[in-house]
Amino acid sequence: MSTATAPADTPDAEKRDKPLGGRFIGATANYIDERTSLSGFVKELGRKIFPDHWSFMLGEIALWSFVVVLLSGTFLTFFFQASMVPTHYTGAFLPMRGVEMSAALDSSLMISFDLRGGLLVRQIHHWAALVFVAGIGVHMLRIFFTGAFRKPRELNWVIGFVLFVLAMGEGFTGYSLPDDLLSGNGLRIIDGMVKGIPVVGTWISFLLFGGEFPGTAIVGRLYTLHILLLPAILVGLLVVHLMLMVINKHTQFAGPGRTNSNVVGYPMMPVYMSKMGGFLFITFGVIVLIASLFTINPIWNYGPYDPSPVSAGTQPDWYIGFADGALRLVPPGWEFVFLDRTWSFNILVPLVGLGLFIVIVAIYPFIEAWITGDKREHHIAQRPRNAATRTAIGAGGVTFYAVLWAAASSDIIATHFYLTMEGVIHTLQALLVVGPIIAYFVTKRICIALQKKDREIALHGYESGRIVRLPGGEYIEVHQPVDEYERWKLVDNDTYEPLVVRPNAKGRIPWHEKLRAVASKSLFEDRLSPLTQSEIDAAVAHQHHELEHIATEEDLELQGAHERAGVPDAPHVPIFDGHNSETAVRPSNVIIAEDDAPKKGKKPKAD
Amino acid sequence: MAHEDDPLEHERASWKPSPGLAVAVSDPVQPPALPPHRERMTDKDPVAMKHAVRTVYTLFYLSVAASIWAIAAYMLFPIESGAIVDIRNNNLFIGLGIGLALLAIGIAAIHWSKAIMSDKEFIEPRHATRGRDTTRAAAVQAFSDANDDSGFGRRILIRNSMIAAVVASLAPAVVLFRGLAPEGENPVELLETTMWTEGMRLAHDPEGTPIRAADVTLGSAVHVIPQSLAELDHADGYLEAKAKAIVLLMRLLPEDLNETPEKADWSYDGIVAYSKVCTHVGCPVALYEQQTHHLLCPCHQSQFDVANGAAVIFGPAARPLPQLPITIDDEGYLIARSGFTEPVGPSFWERH
C-alpha cells in the first residue's frame, strides 16, 4: 500500500532509473491497482489524520489483545478436543495419571504438559482474554466520561457495547471448555440460574446440556459458540465499529487549533501505522511476558469435574464477578411458591437487575440526547468535569458495578481482613443502594468545584507563587495570566439549561415533556454559564492592568529602599546568585551589592 | 464547539440541527490557532537524532536476538521428563524470548514514530456525516423507482404473504433445536428423582465403601454417595446421577438435634443426612463447621443449620437442604429409609 502513490503509467525509461527494489514495488503496485483500484483507497486513507491523546490508546489495547486471543486460540484448536468422552489420563503429569476425565480435560492437560510451549500459548490465550475484556471496559469508561458517544456516534456506542457483552460471552464459554472442577462448578451455577427462570428455565437447561446436568454435550456446544459463532459476530461487529470510527472521524480534545469542525493530528501513514503497529507488538509482548511469568487457571491442580468436591474461595474470571456478586447479595428467602409454581426471585432479581443495568448503559446516549434535544454533531471530547451530571451518573454506575464485583470476593475479603462473612455481605448490601447515591452527589460537587477552579484560572490567572509587598505593607500573591492556548482548554461552551415546558398546540403538556423537564432540571440546574469572548477580553485587560500596577508599585518600593540605602542607581532586577532565579527581588539583596556595579552571574556576598 | 460558524454543516439551507437545550452564546470564546510548532531535540541536534536512530535499530536487532533465543529455548528446555520444573523452565524461557522480541519491536516502532518521524501536525476538515442533499435525493429516488418497478408498496397481498412466508420459514429451524435434548425424557420427572431408594446403603464418596453407623464419630462430616453409584460407569451417566445424589452425613449429639415430629425417625442416633446440592444454584455445600453445626456453600455463602433441619440462616438460598431419611440395616450399615421426599438442588419452575 505504501507505494501506491507511484504513478500507474510511468514510462519504462523512467522506471529503469530507479533502483531494482523501487522498480519492483512500483510494478507490483501498478499490477494490483489495475486489478483492484486500490490507489483510491490509499489516497483516501493513507494520509488520514488522527488526533493524539493517551486515552485513545485504551481501545487499541482491546483491539490488539483480541488479535492475540485470535492467534493463540487458533493454535490451541489444533490440539484441544472438545469432547466429554470419558478417558483415563496417561500424560506426563504424574499426579493425574490414571484419573478418569473427559477428553476435553485430557487434551487441555496434554497441551499444558506434553506440548513444548503449549502451556505458554494456553496462558497467553487466557491472559489475553482477561486483558481484552478489561481493555473494552476501560475504553468504554473513556468514551462515556468524555461524551464521545454523542451524535453521530450513538450507534457505535451500542455496537461497542454489544462487543463488550460478546467478549464476556467468549470469556465464559472459553473458561468452561477444559471441563475441570472449577469450570464445571461455574457451569453448575449457570445451570442453577437458568432453572430459576420462570416457565422456560427447566427446559432451556435441559436443552442446553442435552439432558441432565452435566451431560456429555455441553463442552462441544460451548466450543462451537466459542470458536465459530461468537467470534464471527465479534469480528463482523468489530469491522463495523472501526469503519464507523473512520467515517465519523475520531473525536479530539479541545485544544489550540482544534475545533468541532476539524481534526488535528498526525497522518495515518507513517505515524499511526508505526505507532499502532508498535502498540500491537507492545500489547502482545506484555501479555506474553505475563504469561511466561505468572500461572493462570492451573487446571492440573483442580482435576476433572465432579459434582461433589469444591474448594473454598473459588472465584470466576474477573469480568463475571459482578454477576456472581449480584447472586451473593440477595437476602435469604426470596423464593415463593405461587399458583403451584416456584418463583425464584433470588435468581430473577439479580438477573433482571443486571439486565436493566446493562440496558441502561447501552441506551444511555439516547436518553441524554432525548433530554438535551441536541441534534448537532459533537466531535470534541469533553473533559469529565464539564459534564458534571453525566460524570456523576457514571461514578454512580461504576460504584454499583464495583460493589457487585467486591461481593464476588466477599469470602476472600472476610478471611483476609478478619471480618465476619455476614458483616461483609450486609455492608455490601447497604453499599449497593447507598454507594451510588453518595458517589453521584460527591462527584457532581467535585466536578462543579473543578469547573469553578478552571473558570478562576481562565479569568484571573494562575497563582504564580510570587509574593509582593505593596507600599502599604500588604502582601499579595501575583496571579499570572495563562496563555491563550491554555485558556482555550479551560473554557467550555457546551452548556445546557433545564427545559421550560410549554403547552403544545392542544394546550396540553404531554407527560413525556414533563418527564424531560424534570430530568433536564436535575441534569443542568447546577451549572456555570458559558464564558464569552468579551468576558475573557475584559479579564485579560484587567489582569494586564493589575500586573502593571503591581510592577509600578514594586518599582517605587524598590527605588525607595535603594534611596534609603544610599544606592539610588542600583538595578531593580534580582541578582543572579548562580543557582536559580528564585531569589526574590528584595531590597536587602541589592543593598549588599559590591562597590562596583553588580554584574550578572556574580554571586552576592553573604553577610 | 463554536457551532454557530463552523463549516461542518455543508448545506445549511436544508439542514439546521436543533441545539436543543444548549445555552446559546452570542459571543463565544474564539479558539486560538494552532500554536507554533516546537522542534524536538532530535530536530535541533544531529547528535540526538543519531542517537535515536541507533536506539531504534539496536532494538530491532535485539528483537531478532530474542526471537532466536526463543527458538533455542524451545530446544534447550525439553519437557519430556514430565518434571514440573522442566515445564516451568520451558514456559518461562520461551515466553521471555517471545515477549522480549515483541516488546523490542513495539518500543522501537513507537520510538521511531515519536523521535524520528516528522511530528508536524496536520489539520483536516470534518464534514457532516449525513450525505449531501443531492445524494440523499438520489437514494430516495432509487427506493422509489424500485418500489414502482416491483409494486412492493402497491401490491399489499404479495408483500404481506411474503413477510408471512419468511417468518414462517424460521419456525422449522427453531423446532429442529428440540433435538438438543433426547426425546422421551421429561426434565421435570428427572429432576424429581435421584438414585436413592429404600434400603440403599450409604457409601463413602468416591470409593463406594458402605458406612457403618458405629464408625461415624461425633462431630464428623462424611461425604456420601449411594453405594450402587460407585459401580456406575462415566459413560452410563455417573456424573448426572452423582450431581443429584450426593449427600453429607453428620453426627451430632442427639439432644442437639431439633427435629420436627414427622421427621423424628429420619435420623439415626444423632446421625443426619442432607442433600449436598445447594438449594440456591446447585453448588456442593461442602464446608461443615462442627462447633456451630452450620453448613456453608462456598459459591454464594448460603448457610444452613444442620441442628435445625438444615434451615437457611444466611445467604441467598431460600429452602432448607432436603433431608435423606436414614436408618441402619441388620449389619449396622447406614441405609436410606426412602428416597428424597422432595426434589434436590436448585429450584425450578415446575417445582412445588
CATH number at residue A119: 1.20.810.10
Report how many Cβ contacts below 8 Å link chain A to chain B: 407
Distance CA A171, CA A254 (A): 37
Q: Which residue of A has its CA nearest to B190?
A: A212
φ and ψ at A315, to 5 degrees? -140, 150
Domain boundary among A300, A318, A345: A300
pLDDT (mean) for A564-590 = 63
Asked whether residue A546 is domain-assigned, the answer is yes
Do A30 and A99 lie in one domain? The reply is no
Contacts of B19 in chain A (CB under 8 A): 374-376
Query: Which residues are CB-contacts of A474 (< 8 A; sequence separation ≥ 6)?
Result: none
Compute the C-alpha angle B206/B207/B211, nearest 5°: 100
Asked whether residue A445 is domain-assigned, the answer is no
Q: Do A533 and B30 touch (CB under 8 A)?
A: yes
Contacts of B318 in chain A (CB under 8 A): 332-335, 344, 346
Domain assignment of residue A139, given as a range: 63-300
pLDDT value of position A17: 60
Of A202, A494, A531, the CB nearest to B348: A202
Q: Do A531 and B29 touch (CB under 8 A)?
A: yes
3-state secondary structure labels for all residues of A349-376: HHHHHHHHHHHHHHHHHHHHHHHHCCCC
Task: Look over chain A and give the mean of its residue pLDDT values, rounded to a whole number.
Answer: 87
Highest mean pLDDT among A126-130, A309-313, A344-348, A588-592: A126-130
* Contact criterion met (CB below 8 Å) for A107 and A79: yes
Q: Do B281 and A189 touch (CB under 8 A)?
A: yes
Min Cα distance A564 → chain B (Å) is 47
pLDDT value of position A417: 95
Q: Do B284 and A324 touch (CB under 8 A)?
A: no
Helix count and strand count (H, E) for chain B: 7, 11
Of A263, A332, A531, the CB nearest to B314: A332
Walk me through the domains of chain B, giving residue ranges and CATH numbers.
41-116 (no CATH), 132-164 (no CATH), 189-336 (2.102.10.10)
Do A40 and A171 lie in one domain? The reply is no
Asked whether residue A123 is domain-assigned, the answer is yes
Do A103 and A76 lie in one domain? The reply is yes
Q: Do B106 and A201 touch (CB under 8 A)?
A: no
Residue B57 has pLDDT above 50, yes or no: yes
Q: Which residue of A has its CA nearest to B66?
A: A285
Residue A601 has pLDDT above 50, yes or no: no
Do A93 and A226 lie in one domain? The reply is yes
Q: Say which DSSP state B45 is in.
A: -
pLDDT value of position A578: 59
pLDDT value of position A600: 43
Return the closest-CA partner of residue A350 out of B282, B281, B188: B281
pLDDT band at A276 (very low <50, low <70, confident <90, very high): very high
Asked whether residue A16 is domain-assigned, the answer is yes
Q: Strand A380-381 and strand A252-253: pairing?
A: parallel
Query: Which residues are CB-contacts of A538 (< 8 A; sequence separation ≥ 6)?
Result: none
The type of residue at B203 is A
Do A216 and A275 lie in one domain? The reply is yes
Distance CA A378, CA A492 (A): 13
pLDDT (mean) for A7-18 = 51
Do A226 and A153 lie in one domain? The reply is yes
Contacts of B99 in chain A (CB under 8 A): 285-286, 288-289, 291-292
Min Cα distance B153 → chain A (Å) is 29
Q: Do A100 and B234 touch (CB under 8 A)?
A: yes
Contacts of B27 in chain A (CB under 8 A): 532-534
pLDDT band at A20 (very low <50, low <70, confident <90, very high): low
Do A29 and A73 lie in one domain? The reply is no
pLDDT value of position B14: 66
Q: Do B95 and A292 touch (CB under 8 A)?
A: yes
φ and ψ at A500, to 5 degrees? -100, 115
* Contact criterion met (CB below 8 Å) for A457 and A491: no
pLDDT value of position A203: 93
Q: Do B113 and A329 touch (CB under 8 A)?
A: no
Q: Do A254 and B1 touch (CB under 8 A)?
A: yes
pLDDT (mean) for A7-28 = 64
pLDDT value of position B71: 96
Q: Do A377 and B284 touch (CB under 8 A)?
A: no
Min Cα distance A594 → chain B (Å) is 40
Question: Which of B180, B295, B303 best probes binding to A when mutated, by most A CB atoms within 10 angstroms?
Answer: B180
Asked whether residue A584 is domain-assigned, the answer is yes
Contacts of A519 in chain B (CB under 8 A): none
* Contact criterion met (CB below 8 Å) for A329 and A425: yes
Q: Do B90 and A189 touch (CB under 8 A)?
A: no
Over the stretch B225-234, which tens digit does the pLDDT of each residue have? 999 998 888 8
Distance CA B311, CA B321 (A): 7
List, as ranges, residues 542-601 from A with C-beta within 8 Å of B: none
Residue A566 has pLDDT above 50, yes or no: yes
pLDDT value of position A12: 52
pLDDT band at A470 (very low <50, low <70, confident <90, very high): confident
pLDDT value of position B2: 39
Q: Is some CB atom of chain B closer than 8 A to the CB atom of A298?
A: no
The contacts found for A26-29 with CB under 8 angstroms, 24 or more apart, are A28/A3, A29/A3, A29/A4
> Scanning the structure block, which residue is given the C-alpha cell 419468511?
B166
Contacts of A314 in chain B (CB under 8 A): 298-299
Of A249, A337, A411, the CB nearest to B298: A411
SS3 A476: strand
Q: Which residue of B has its CA nearest to A529?
A: B23
Min Cα distance A14 → chain B (Å) is 29
Domain count along chain A: 3
Asked whether residue A240 is domain-assigned, the answer is yes
Asked whether residue A424 is domain-assigned, the answer is no
Compute the C-alpha angle B319/B322/B328, nearest 5°: 160
Q: Do B316 and A491 touch (CB under 8 A)?
A: no
Q: Within a 13 Å sphere around the CA of A196, how many CA atoms are in the beta-carbon half?
A: 28
Report the run of H or E that residue B28 belongs to, with start and end. none
Distance CA A285, CA A68 (A): 10
Residue A293 has pLDDT above 80, yes or no: yes
End-to-end CA distance of chain B: 62
Contacts of B208 in chain A (CB under 8 A): none
pLDDT value of position A392: 95
Contacts of B352 in chain A (CB under 8 A): 337, 340-342
Return the closest-CA partner of residue A7 out of A41, A32, A30, A37: A30
The type of residue at A400 is F
Distance CA B242, CA A308 (A): 8
Do A177 and A285 lie in one domain? The reply is yes
Q: Which residue of B has its CA nearest to A331?
A: B316
Do A249 and A142 lie in one domain? The reply is yes
Contacts of B119 in chain A (CB under 8 A): 266, 271
Return the closest-CA partner of residue A33 out of A44, A45, A41: A41
Over the stretch B129-186, which tens digit does the pLDDT of each residue have? 888 888 899 999 999 999 999 999 899 999 999 999 999 999 999 899 999 999 888 8
pLDDT band at A34 (very low <50, low <70, confident <90, very high): very high
Q: Is some CB atom of chain B closer than 8 A to the CB atom of A423?
A: no
Residue B103 CB neighbours (<10 A)? 22
List, as ranges, residues 207-246 from A with C-beta within 8 Å of B: 207-215, 217, 221
Return the closest-CA partner of residue A206 out of B178, B234, B236: B178
Contacts of B112 in chain A (CB under 8 A): 274, 278
> Scanning the structure block, which residue is given the C-alpha cell 507505494?
A3
pLDDT (mean) for B13-20 = 77
CA dihedral B40, B41, B45, B46 (to 10 degrees): -80
Partners of residue B203 on adjacent β-strands:
B210, B225
Asked whether residue A212 is domain-assigned, the answer is yes
pLDDT value of position A576: 60
Cell of B136: 440523499
Do A92 and A195 lie in one domain? The reply is yes
Query: What are the b/e assignments for A310-332, b being 16+ CB within 10 Å?
Result: beeebebbebbbbbbbbbbbbeb
- In angstroms, the Cα distances linking A192 to A210, A338, B259, B282, B299 are 15, 20, 29, 6, 12
pLDDT (mean) for A286-291 = 97
pLDDT value of position B286: 83
Over the stretch A548-558, which tens digit does the pLDDT of each residue have? 888 888 888 88
Residue B317 has pLDDT above 80, yes or no: yes
Return the closest-CA partner of residue B242 out of B257, B263, B228: B228
Over the stretch A424-459, which tens digit does the pLDDT of each residue have? 999 999 999 999 999 999 999 999 999 999 999 989
Biggest CA-to-CA distance, chain A: 108
Q: Do B242 and A371 touch (CB under 8 A)?
A: no
Do A85 and A133 lie in one domain? The reply is yes
Query: Which residues are CB-contacts of B11 (< 8 A; sequence separation ≥ 6)?
Result: B128, B132, B133
Do A277 and A149 lie in one domain? The reply is yes
Helix count and strand count (H, E) for chain A: 22, 10
Q: Which residue of A has its CA nearest to B280?
A: A192
pLDDT (mean) for B180-208 = 90
Residue B306 has pLDDT above 50, yes or no: yes
Residue A355 has pLDDT above 80, yes or no: yes
